Structure 1
């Protein structure tokens, strides 16, 4: 890697797909990548027009695409839309997530378990499988799976989430070995508790979420979406050019406690 630190973090001239770009961490990642010079395809179940509007207002380039990542046909169509518009694809962030019910495996219905893995694991597989040939043709690139500190440590009442996020960490390692010779780097990124809509759904309001979660983090607070986005930029850019098959914990010290 040559050039300056600024050059290392630049995504100028690159096309990156971000799934789950409709809010929270995904929106922050898409916005951060655009600010670093990338053309960003923002995917979500509902086209994330607000994310794209904010990127455009800041002078960036982005498009909004509706895509259910559990549907192979929709995934193929979305990737086709990106290549038709911009040609090569250089990066992918698998950030799509869904809400998991609280309870042991005795409480989780089979369809709830299956849906959780369909979105978080199978969706990552389908997106990666569709994008990889284009990245290989472009001469290489970077893939980032958004996992969680819960892929490292367990939490009561979260067996499905812990298992799915652990699967993403292992999937990144295996993909990294399979595609290194093609110039593809694959890493996972594991956030701790972050102040997003998911916190509101689980706790009702942010104050309650902070009171419950902050003491579990060595830094004594929850994370902010942009703190995860800057870590994703590191993994996507040449700043991490000697890094593959690794998981980056950005969890405020949660897993250290």
Structure 2
């Protein structure tokens, strides 16, 4: 039996940019990328948290920098990419993970300012960051872009109108970018997790809502929420040469929610 060439999962010498890098899922992804040889730029609105994560990666033997970046600000994204290029080199991997916490409510309950804030970060921020990175990535010979979407980009959820709309748009944005930039050597895919045990869950259900959390988990075939580390393998796959023939796709990692 032919052995799998594990080197296809390596990111040696590649510069990986992760937005929302200090968050629960994305911090695990930053560490994983560094563990397989990438030079990692951890970007987050909370610059101190991004710098602390980068420092912990360096202490573990990896190479990383942490930068403050508001992805909804075009000039901030352009400046961040130039900073990354100067310190690490041209980006060849981009994982767009920045997202704000959204309040539960219908369109009658979510005011225009709340709606716009979610769209500005969760959707327009991906557009702006991709737009800032793409010229450098193309000049470097290509790379991989990953939009962190959600299973709720495929199936609706009552009271999550802004979140689900933005995540559905990310899946289509990845498809269109894949079409536009295949000839540039750039692959673009989306990654759609199910519920992951991060602060978004405690924000949604509250710190002590154990019965609600237990009931919500029963909607998944695996009867539980994911750990952030369970998203790492999919994010590494999409960034690496292991997915070299994959573009314009949405990788669903949802514990069986959409199949139930």
TM-score normalized by the length of structure 1: 0.96
Residues 1-257 of structure 1: pairs in structure 2 closer than 5 A: 5-47=5-47, 48-205=50-207, 207-208=210-211, 210-257=213-260
State the Cα distance separating 1:209 from its structure 2 match.
5.8
Question: Runs of 5+ in structure 1 lacking a partner?
Answer: none
State the Cα distance separating 1:83 from its structure 2 match.
0.5
Q: CA–CA distance in 1 between the matches of 2:58 and 2:131?
A: 29
Q: CA 1:4–1:14 in 2, change beyond 3 Å: closer, same or farther?
A: farther
Q: CA–CA distance in 1 between the matches of 2:227 and 2:143?
A: 27
Q: CA–CA distance in 1 between the matches of 2:130 and 2:4?
A: 30
2:119–2:166 Cα contact (<8 Å) kept: yes
Q: CA–CA distance in 1 between the matches of 2:212 and 2:80?
A: 35
Q: CA–CA distance in 1 between the matches of 2:253 and 2:97?
A: 15
Deviations 1:195-231 (A, max 9, x none): 0011111112373563132111111110011111211
Q: Which runs of 4+ in 1 moved over 4 A?
A: none
Q: CA–CA distance in 2 between the matches of 1:50 and 1:210?
A: 30
Q: CA 1:62–1:26 in 2, change beyond 3 Å: closer, same or farther?
A: same
Across the aligned residues of Structure 1 and Structure 2, the Cα RMSD in angstroms comes to 1.3
State the Cα distance separating 1:4 from its structure 2 match.
5.1
Question: Runs of 5+ in structure 2 lacking a partner?
Answer: none
1:193–1:213 Cα contact (<8 Å) kept: no
Q: CA–CA distance in 1 between the matches of 2:201 and 2:190?
A: 22
State the Cα distance separating 1:87 from its structure 2 match.
2.1
